[in-house]
Structure formats: structure tokens, C-alpha cells
A and B are shown apart, each in its own frame.
Chain A
């Protein structure tokens, strides 16, 4: 079966650039909704206790937050069709407060659903081939992938077929639904790592094997949270046909031997750390060798079936350069800035990748209103083959836009407040929900992001500063990835006061590193000041085009620490 199968063609206007459900997938998701409806009914009737219900509601994406339930909808490998985006907008209007929050794991969260409505929401999602399966809970979570998959100029292979293959394998895995802790997998297939594979429980990079055939470099034991670890290579080259069997071996070793006595030591990163990489590798390989491989015998065929869906859209043959783009840039400086900052190289001549920032000045990072979701859906249909992506930086990507259309697209986005030209720049901040929503939070994080965003709102100054990632978490669980922010901010509570620790030098890419602490925590109203001083110091010291992280690496952490210390001596309360 291919993407152009007659069964699929019965649905007009659905792009074939992404996976489409067949009857089995449809039935499965429908059955999942029915199952959850029954689970909610049993809970309300008292047949299950809250404790018994909890893991099942979590495995359907339903969290209990500080003020209300939160539903986390899966957006597998961050890929959405226009139709799906519209449906998310409709759900936001009908069952929530008219907006949604795109997360660092390429998902979408609704912050205000009612428990009794959730089965209906899931049904509406199923209507457009979506679900909230395994977006939470101690199971294999929604698999993430490079948001430039299939279009990046530096790509070896589109990682999405792999991610979809894993989505199916991990869905309702009977053996791995009650793991010691949550389990996150990310896949990348390009030279540059935009999926942060080294800070996942398992990270996969599609690479060429000895004979040139595609397979995987497998990382294990990376993760953030309380104890951040950079993942280690457990297998340098895994042939494709062994993928599911090998991951099953890793998961089985983890399920049996991962710690269950302390939830903060239960991730596979701790097992790898305490047992040692060599020992873990030996156990995984022994399990892999002992396994009955019959159920995996036809994996290569199934992979090929899935891969056929991810066909390139019908691109036009275009010149590499666009005259229309050049003249629009000359005439409109705001557009020129957008084109410089938010547009990335596409592998096809005449096309570009556009990242739409969900980080307007003073906004909540990752939030989009239903009206904005609809504009994005319309824009993707008008200019981008009806396909969208969610990035782990909490932005939306239009992966195939003709360079000739960029100006028209920009006008459409600008009218909807979606043309902020700050992608990859200082105000493209990643932030977790923090104390405004989260029951585990020790401090607010959204207001900190907003304060920094206002302080640095001058886009020209941001371009002058260059690429710089700020990441904020409202407690040590690190949902905001602060460990891998070039500048990381961690909100803690000290003697009843919010106190923010600042770290420098984090890096989520293949050169992964965990940030180092700058000094004692600072108060909420000082975070923006301190960041400003650090940035000023960087600007005074950088050589040529050097990025912040490279200047920091060259000068060393101590030089930056001095900046904060001098601040303290000048009377700042830190």
C-alpha cells in the first residue's frame, strides 16, 4: 500500500506528505476513545479509585494541574495537517478558553478541559486522526523528531517514518505500559541535531551503515530533570530491520532493573549511570540475542509501507533565487528582517522553510489562540501544501513555502500577530508553565519569560546579539530545558521567596553540554537585569561572528561569573 492507495484517495485535500491512518489505525484510536469513556464512567461510578484511575488518565494525556485538568494532545513527530490544526482550534473554542499551548515535546496542551468532556474531545481528535495516547504516564511517550524533517538541506533521511513506526509499536505496548518512569524517544536524520537526541532516554540518529544502508546510531540514558545526563552511545550502528527488536531489548532491561524505590532515580539515565554503560550494553545485547525474532521478521516491509506515505509534495521546478523575494526585501525592512531571521534553507531550489514564532513581545511562549491556529492552517494551505510542524522550541513551522510567496505569507501572518522576527534569537524563549499552572512549581516562569521578552523587544538589538537560547523552568524537574539553555533560568523557592538560578553554557545539540551555575539565585525582578549584563559582557568580548556559547566556551565560565559578582558588589540584591 502506498500513500496513493485508493482507500486514501477517497479523502480529498489530504496531503500525502505525512502518514495517513488505514482502517486498523482508525479502529485502534476509536477503541481507545471508547475504552477511556468507559474508564471515566467507572471512575465517576466509584468502580475505580482515583489512585487506580490515575495511570490510565495519564496515558490518555490527562493531567491534574494546579487549577484544573490539562489535556496533552499528541502531535506525533510534530507534524500536522491544516485540517488537524483547524480541529485543534475548534476544540479550543468548544471545550477550552479559545487557546492552546504548544509544548517542548511537540505536543499541544489544553489547560481548562472538564473531565466529563474529555471523551468527547478525544472523539473529535480521532475524527482527524489524532489522539492523546501516551503523552503522559510511565510509558513510552509520544516520539519526537526534527521539525525540519524531510526538508532540511543537511538531511540524510527523513526521520518521521522511523518515528511513526515507533509510534505504532509503542502504542498500548502491553509489556511497557507500567515502566519505572516515563520514557522519551527522539529521532533525527540530519547532520545538525534539531531533535535533542542526546537528552532523551533513547536518542536515534539515522546514519549510513558500512554498506551505505540506513540504520541507527543509538544513544541511551540522556535526560534533563533533577539530574541531567548526556546520552551515551549504546550501539554505533543498528541495522534498520533490528530497530524494534533492539528497542524492545533496551526497554525490557529497563523495565526489569530500573529503580522503583525512588521516583527521582527511576529514569533509565540513573540505571545506566549506576550500572555502567558497558554492563547495560552487555545486558541489552544478551537480551537481544536471546529474543524470539519471529514477531519482527517483517519489520522491514512494514517500515517501507510507512515510509511511502512521507512522499515529497509536488514541488515546482524553480530557480534557486527569487527576484520577487529580493525586491520585497528591499522595499520592506520589517519583512527583510523576518526573511533573514525566520526563514531557513530548504533542500529544493526556490523553496524555503518558514518558522512562525509563538513568542511575541510579552506573550506566553508557545500559546496560540484559536484564531491564530486557523490563520496558520489557512497559510499552510495557501502557501505550503497544507502541512505544518511544531518545533520543540514551541514554534510552528511551514516546511515548504515558495520563495516567491514569502512576502504574501508574511503579510498574512503579520495581520494575525504572527510575524515576530525572533526565531533563534534571545526572545525566542522556551519556558515551562511554572507556578501559573503547575502544582510542582517552586516559582513562576512565564512572567520571567515575559519580562525578558519586554526588556529585549528591540528586534534590531536581538539580531545584533545573534543566536542565543534562553530556557526557563519553574522547578528542578526541568520541563523548560534550562540545563541546555545557552542561558538557563531555574526558579526555586528560598525562604518563601522566588529565587532564580542562572546557568550558562548549556547546549542541546550534538555538542551537548549541561549549563554551569553562574552564582547564587537572584530575585524575580532581577533576572532580566542579570541577563542584560551577561549579554553586554558577551557583546564586548565576542570575536567576529562568534555565537554566545562559543564566546563562553573560549573565555571560560569564571569570566562570566565575575559579571554577576560585580553586580552584587554594586548593590544588587543577589
Chain B
């Protein structure tokens, strides 16, 4: 997998733990939702913990763990499946402040969608990263100076700017 943050390919400090792997004693790890309780009990307090969520997850069920989670990765089984965008908004609304990651076959054309819905990073398979280089991701992210809706990580909507200009 390749990791993109703010239109740049970056080093990934996190390791996805497969369900059959043992919990490591060090390093930042991402576990599935089923192993969350186990990881909370087994990890040291200094160890970074993240969770992978399917795009059908119930945000209310995960909210109690927010304070202990540094990363939430939401799965995109297909780039055309937009459920992850709504889930991201709900996770942000419920108060999650850590790194929110879109994980799956997203394409560069979705860089802005992801950021506006609250994602910090995008994790894509290598075959897409090979075709769609950093320049394409950066360009896509900067396609619009402003959009009509309020989003995370944007400068305020066109509506808001108009209103301020009229005051």
C-alpha cells in the first residue's frame, strides 16, 4: 500500500495487524474492530493504536474508544462506494480528533472528496500509486479554490465567503 497525505506520498508509520497475528509489544498498530478490546487490554499505554472499520460500521459503537484511538481507517471496497464518505463525516461529528484514513482503491480524482469529508490520509494499493503519481494527487487536491459546501480542511464555503463579503 502507498500512503498519501496532503497530496504527497509519505512514509507509513502504522502497521496493519492481520487477525491471526499476535499483538506486538512495540510500534503503532491498526487492528480490526473485532480485536479492539483485546488490543486495548494488551498494548502498553504508549503504544499507538488504530482500528479498521468497514464502511457499514456504526459510529456510535466506536465513539467510546475515541480517546484511546490515534487512527481510524475506513475501508473503501470500491472507489464508487461512497458510504465511507458519510461514515467519515459521522466519525468526525462524534468527536474523533485523530488521524482519519481512507483505505482502498480510491483514485486521485477523489482527493478533495476525501479531505472535505474529514480524511487526513489515503491508503491505496501499489498498482494505482504507480499509475497515479504524486503530482496527479496534488493537482487533484488543488482543483478548486472554493466549493459550495462547508468541509473539513477547507477555507470555508463559497456561501460563507459571499456572506462575509456582503457584510
Measured CB to CB, the residues of A under 8 A from B are: 1, 22, 24-25, 27-28, 31-32, 34-35, 38-39, 42, 46-49, 52, 55-56, 138, 168-169, 171-179, 252, 255-256, 260, 290-292, 294-295, 298-299, 301-302, 305
Output the least CB separation between A60 and chain B (Å).
11
The main secondary structure of chain B at its interface with chain A is helix
A28-B146, A38-B139, A169-B149 known; A302+B132 contact, CB < 8 A: no
Say yes or no: is B151 at the interface (Cβ < 8 Å to chain A). yes
**B81 CB within 8 Å of chain A:** yes
B116 to chain A, nearest CB (A): 4
Check A174 against B136 for contact (C-beta < 8 Å): no
CB distance from B9 to the nearest CB of A (A): 15
Say yes or no: A302 contacts B86, CB within 8 Å: no
Instruction: List A contacts of B89 (CB < 8 A).
Output: 175, 252
Q: Nearest-CB distance from A130 to chain B (Å)?
A: 17
B49: interface (CB < 8 Å): no
A292 to B136: give the CA distance in the assembly, Å. 33
Task: Using A24-B162, A42-B132, A292-B93 as known contacts, list a sample of 16 further A-B pairs with CB atoms less than 8 Å apart, ordered by residue number in A.
Answer: A1-B162, A28-B146, A28-B158, A31-B145, A38-B139, A42-B136, A168-B148, A173-B149, A174-B116, A174-B151, A175-B85, A175-B117, A255-B83, A256-B87, A298-B163, A299-B159
- Is B166 in the interface zone, CB < 8 Å from A? yes
Q: How far is the CB of B50 from chain A (nearest CB, A)?
A: 22
Instruction: Give the chain B neighbours of A291 by CB distance below 8 A.
Output: 93
Tell me, yes or no, whether B161 is within 8 Å of chain A by CB: yes
List the B residue with the shortest CB-CB distance to A137.
B80
Chain B interface residue count, CB cutoff 8 Å, equals 43
Q: How far is the CB of B20 from chain A (nearest CB, A)?
A: 29
How far does the alpha carbon of A52 sit from the alpha carbon of B56 in the complex, in Å?
23
* A177-B113, A256-B86, A298-B163 as given contacts; A169 in contact with B148, CB under 8 Å: yes
**Bound complex: CA A168 to CA B143 (Å):** 17
A172 to B56, alpha carbons, bound, how many Å? 23
Decide: B82 and A179 in contact? CB cutoff 8 A: yes
Residues of chain B within 8 A (CB-CB) of A32 are: 144
Is A55's CB under 8 angstroms from B80's CB? yes
A299: nearest chain-B partner, CB-CB: B159
Kindly list chain A residues whose C-beta atoms are within 8 Å of the C-beta of B136.
42, 47
Q: A28-B146, A298-B163 in contact; A47/B132 too (CB < 8 A)?
A: yes
* Contact of B109 (CB < 8 Å), options: A39, A179, A252: A39
Q: Which 4 A-B pairs have the closest CB atoms?
A: A178-B82, A295-B150, A174-B116, A174-B113
With a CB–CB cut-off of 8 A, which chain A residues contact B146?
24, 27-28
A24 touches B163 (CB 8 A): no
Least CB separation from B144: chain A residue: A31
**A46 vs B87: C-alpha distance when bound (angstroms):** 31
Cβ of B25 < 8 Å from any Cβ of A? no
Q: Does A52 lie within 8 Å of B162, measured CB to CB?
A: no
* Distance in Å: Cβ of B57 to nearest Cβ of chain A: 10
Most buried by B among A25, A171, A260: A260
B85/A24 in contact, CB under 8 A: no
B153–chain A nearest beta-carbon distance, Å: 11
